[in-house]
Structure 1
Amino acid sequence: MTTRVIKYTYFSDARGRALQERETTFPELCTMLEEIPPCDKKAAPLIKLATFTGQPNDNGCRRYDAAMTAITGVEGDYDEGDVTPEDAHERLERYNLSAVIVTTHSHTPDRPRWRVLVPLARDHLPQDRERLAAGLNGALGGILARESFTMSQSFYIGRPPNGEYKVLPTSGAVYLDEWPALDASAIYKNGAAPGAASGSYDIVAGEDDEDPELLEMVPAKPGSMEELLEALQQGEDVHGSSLRLVGQLVGRGADDDTIRLVFSAVAYDVAEHRGEERARELLGAELQRMIDGARAKGYGQIGSDAFAFVQATEMSVQPVSWLVHAYLEEDTMAVMYGAPGMGKSFLALDMSCCVATGTPFHGQAVKQGAVFYIAGEGHNGIARRVKAWAQYHGFSGMPEQLFVSKAPADLVNGLNAVGVANAIRRLVIATGVMPRVIVIDTMARNFIGDENSAADVGRFVSNVDMLRRKWRATVVIVHHSGKDSSKGARGSSALKGAVDAEYEVSRPGGGVQLTAHKMKDAENPPDLSFEMIAVPLQEDTHAVTISAVLKLTDHSAHMKPEEPVRLGKHQVTVLDILKQMLGDDTESVSVAHWQTQCIEARVPRNRFYEVKDTLEGRKLIRIDGANVSLGEGCPSVSPSGTKPDGQTGHTSRQQNRTDTKRQCRPSEVATDISDLI
């Protein structure tokens, strides 16, 4: 940890009428935070890593932008309740940054809220703070609250009398202003570009339990209701305008529900002109804090409680709102599972392209909108598949409203989930399109943890649900089936319990089949069966690459399963290991690597080559130099002596892997389409 002596200012109350300038090293500051005595928030002091002139303004406040003389550090505030202090600490440790994370009075283990204090290598002009705060925000994945960018914003410190309190200093030795990635990583307020105005509100940092006196800190400005609405929709001071408008509405006797309706309508204009982040300030808990504060000041009578009941006779029955008619509802979570190579990603991409372009999904109407595809791997393959889809369906270019991630994200980690949310938010601001669908392909590639742990899966589901709620989008999770596909998706049943729809993707008879096993609020739709159609793609090098698309063959009847091939014990093991190594997106592996894996699985070394030659002779595998891939004759397999109805573990597992080399290739195209799944 860094040891430079820094100055900071200590305010004894929120109004900033009295201040003390102190000096300390950063380790000593961390010790002070650890040893601070318990106190209520209203009695807690405030801290600012900066120096002030000490001259009061007309209101007697000594803490305002023009009074600042230098900044010695940067503070950040987080109150969304998703990212834990430990997650934030881990991110800062990764960059070797000197910092300390301190929980706030409103922090709970279930709804984490914390502050971050970061020292600087030297004193800076106050005008430098926005750039430094943006760098800190970028290091944390863009999750800091807007108050973190307010120049003279000061922050409560203190141990709550009851509840959890944490002080987590990093071991890093790099000052924020000497961090090489400061500018490259910067995420400015509202995701804006460098140099965007940060705005300045002379208020205390936002928490769920803001003081009712907050309203007095934003002086009421004269103006009609129409002028206040115009200022809210078009002005820079969204928060201040919101407070004044709430005060007007409460004073006129409006109840909470009416105020929320007014702000919901205004939020659309604010989102369009000022960005989604500012629009969010007009809704939810932030708006309720303003309403409660106005009522606490006596502007009106207390409105409806946040939690209430409604009489059944007053409940209305809403029809199902379909994103993909009969198959996917809006604002829900669905899982699409199957064994490796069944065509899950093919189906997910096909559906994504349909939604992104407004193309009916094989005869089913869709609602067009942006699709955000979190891809775990195989980006070149995705590009080819999307290009083939566009070419087959008559589009001159790739779908403009389809966005594919550059890398996977561990969505068990709340910090990463918020990073994904911010990446989506920045594209929403830049393009003006709102997400309809978020695809996670696959869960395994975006999940670091134990899939059999209800706790780990619960965290994953909670973070994914946050993405759904944020935009009321539909989330599709592409996942693997277990060893017994009849039991559904792999891992903890917590996933199945959380989703609204569950689909299995299988390969009976050589095609691809989509089967619904769960629809929470509707009847299960008919199965959809597809064949693979080859699509030649002209590359820039004038070479022709073959991809494929799905063509509907039958939307009601199951395909007839093919007869499984009977194999011996070692043949089943060796082939099964190869299929597991290939996964969804790998076309071949080295024979040497395959042999090593088989020997580790206790296949005798002398038997491996015998089994390999047998499998190659039966066209179950294909040897190409030093590499091996699955052959065109590789349907479902079963050990010798077992019935072909999938009653043994090996049979069931192999029936889930009928995805490899199929017979559905047009004679004019010299390729095996199933290689592309």
Structure 2
Amino acid sequence: MGAQRREREGGVVNFGTHVDAGFEPLDWSGLDDLEPATPVIPGLLNEGESGALIGQAECGKSLLMLEVAVSLALGKPVLGQPAMEPMPVMYIDMENPVVEVKERVHRMGLSLSDIGSSLLRYFSFPDLPPLDTSAGGQKLALACQRFEPKLIVLDTISRMVEGKEDSADTWQNMYVHTMVPLRRQNRAVLRLDHQGHDSSRGARGSSAKRDDVDVAWIMKREGSKVTLSRHKGRSLAHPDDVVLVRHAAPTCHLPVVAGGRVDECVDALNHLHVPLDWTRDEAGAELRANNYRYGNDVVGAALRMRRTANSAACASPP
């Protein structure tokens, strides 16, 4: 190849000296050494993947992802999954006032110093050119080279482009200018997006939004129950649904216990540290004050289950 030459415009070009290092064929011999993709957000997004979290306004997308980002950066359990090593995370927020972000952190039971000393790099309304332009893609790629995040959260993606949301060109341009460079860096990217009026469909705007993501989740909330349904997946590495319960004081999202509503209520009572000797009415009032909704029969059964479990634990020999 280096010896191959051709004439052009009266001159001679030596291809061996003009090979672009970024344009090389795949080395198949090294693929056997590749490890399977490791989870970044367990169950939702793997290393190097591009994902979308889609939901109606006010369903809590930003709240959920702030909790995930903070937990990953601090090395805490994430959505009920075991803790991992602290992970560098970049969160770009074009949606939420910084005062609201501060309050959410406090409601998680964390201090601002906890966040400041973590591996979370949070950008609130940064001076970032639109991501469907060359300038925006380059600036984000350079920032990623500086901070080396394993996960990038884009909140909300429709506020980070200059093209029309219902135009396929907007999202194709964003793919070329922003997503391809981040894929080359093997970054996991999760972008938050708004759902259209039809809750059975995905993100509002052009269907081209869906083309370049590896996995897309539709988020729905009913009271304290949060369901993430996989709307698209290029592999079988993700479940069809992830069902969570949003707890308060402190704010956190935990998986629904497989046993159903009674076990779920037991989990809520334990999370709120409800005393074992409280009556059904007292426990029910505390649950409702923290946005849990269970019928009296479920609360009563959950109280009995907790007392039985406690009696068995006390009776067990050390």
TM-score computed with the length of structure 2 as normaliser? 0.67
| 1:380 aligned residue | 99
Contact 1:480 1:490 in 2 (8 A): yes
Q: How does 1:42-81 map to 2 (within 5 A)?
A: none
Distance 1:505-1:556 versus aligned 2 partners, 3 A rule: farther
Distance 1:666-1:372 versus aligned 2 partners, 3 A rule: farther
The amino acid of 2:57's aligned partner reads P
Contact 1:527 1:557 in 2 (8 A): no
Contact 1:390 1:398 in 2 (8 A): no
SS at structure 2 position matched to 1:423: helix
Contact 1:333 1:500 in 2 (8 A): yes
| 1:370 aligned residue | 88
Cα displacement string for residues 284-328 of structure 1 (whole angstroms, at most 9, x for unaligned residues): 94xx49xxxxxxxxxxxxxxx9336859xx867853321233321
Q: How does 1:27-38 map to 2 (within 5 A)?
A: none
Q: How does 1:22-421 map to 2 (within 5 A)?
A: 40=9, 285=20, 288=21, 306-307=24-25, 310=28, 318-365=35-82, 366=84, 368-378=86-96, 379-389=98-108, 391=110, 397-398=114-115, 400-408=118-126, 409=128, 410-421=130-141
Contact 2:91 2:154 in 1 (8 A): yes
1:306 and 1:470 map into 2 onto residues whose CA distance is: 13
1:395 and 1:457 map into 2 onto residues whose CA distance is: 35
Contact 2:247 2:254 in 1 (8 A): no
1:407 and 1:516 map into 2 onto residues whose CA distance is: 29
Shift in Å at residue 521 of structure 1? 2.1
1:557 and 1:490 map into 2 onto residues whose CA distance is: 36
Rg larger in structure: 1
SS at structure 2 position matched to 1:463: helix
The amino acid of 2:121's aligned partner reads F
SS at structure 2 position matched to 1:507: strand
1:333 and 1:530 map into 2 onto residues whose CA distance is: 25
Shift in Å at residue 457 of structure 1? 0.9
TM-score computed with the length of structure 1 as normaliser? 0.34
The amino acid of 1:419's aligned partner reads K
Distance 1:390-1:41 versus aligned 2 partners, 3 A rule: farther
1:443 and 1:416 map into 2 onto residues whose CA distance is: 13
Shift in Å at residue 475 of structure 1? 0.3
Q: How does 1:498-513 map to 2 (within 5 A)?
A: 498-513=212-227
Q: Find the partner of 1:422 among 124, 139, 142.
A: 142
| 1:627 aligned residue | none
| 1:473 aligned residue | 187
Tell me whether 1:458 sits opposite 2:169 in the alignment: no
Shift in Å at residue 512 of structure 1? 2.7
1:321 and 1:384 map into 2 onto residues whose CA distance is: 32
Shift in Å at residue 461 of structure 1? 2.4
Cα displacement string for residues 454-500 of structure 1 (whole angstroms, at most 9, x for unaligned residues): 11111122333145235311100000011112111112222212111
Cα displacement string for residues 391-437 of structure 1 (whole angstroms, at most 9, x for unaligned residues): 2xx996215211111325321122022122333434x3xxxxx2111
Cα displacement string for residues 77-117 of structure 1 (whole angstroms, at most 9, x for unaligned residues): xxxxxxxxxxxxxxxxxxxxxxxxxxxxxxxxxxxxxxxxx
Tell me whether 1:551 sits opposite 2:261 in the alignment: no
Cα displacement string for residues 557-605 of structure 1 (whole angstroms, at most 9, x for unaligned residues): 999xxxxxxxxxxxxxxxxxxxxxxxxxxxxxxxxxxxxxxxxxxxxxx
Cα displacement string for residues 103-147 of structure 1 (whole angstroms, at most 9, x for unaligned residues): xxxxxxxxxxxxxxxxxxxxxxxxxxxxxxxxxxxxxxxxxxxxx
1:533 and 1:666 map into 2 onto residues whose CA distance is: 14
Corresponding pairs, count:
256
2:238 and 2:145 map into 1 onto residues whose CA distance is: 34
Cα displacement string for residues 57-77 of structure 1 (whole angstroms, at most 9, x for unaligned residues): xxxxxxxxxxxxxxxxxxxxx
SS at structure 1 position matched to 2:218: strand
Shift in Å at residue 211 of structure 1? 5.1
Contact 2:86 2:119 in 1 (8 A): no
RMSD: 3.8
The amino acid of 2:132's aligned partner reads V
The amino acid of 2:248's aligned partner reads I
Cα displacement string for residues 618-658 of structure 1 (whole angstroms, at most 9, x for unaligned residues): xxxxxxxxxxxxxxxxxxxxxxxxxxxxxxxxxxxxxxxxx
1:438 and 1:555 map into 2 onto residues whose CA distance is: 30
Distance 1:363-1:667 versus aligned 2 partners, 3 A rule: closer
SS at structure 1 position matched to 2:92: strand
Q: Find the partner of 1:482 among 186, 196, 199.
A: 196
Contact 2:94 2:159 in 1 (8 A): yes
| 2:244 aligned residue | 529
Relative contact order, higher structure (CA 8 A, sep 6+): 2
2:144 and 2:26 map into 1 onto residues whose CA distance is: 33
Contact 1:335 1:502 in 2 (8 A): yes
1:497 and 1:476 map into 2 onto residues whose CA distance is: 14
Cα displacement string for residues 363-386 of structure 1 (whole angstroms, at most 9, x for unaligned residues): 224453211111103222122223
Shift in Å at residue 556 of structure 1? 5.8
| 2:151 aligned residue | 437
Shift in Å at residue 446 of structure 1? 1.0
1:319 and 1:310 map into 2 onto residues whose CA distance is: 16
Distance 1:670-1:309 versus aligned 2 partners, 3 A rule: closer
| 1:493 aligned residue | 207
1:350 and 1:473 map into 2 onto residues whose CA distance is: 19
1:669 and 1:486 map into 2 onto residues whose CA distance is: 30
| Structure 2 gap segments, 5+ residues each | 1-7, 262-283, 293-318
Contact 2:55 2:219 in 1 (8 A): yes
1:489 and 1:478 map into 2 onto residues whose CA distance is: 10
Q: Percent identity?
A: 25
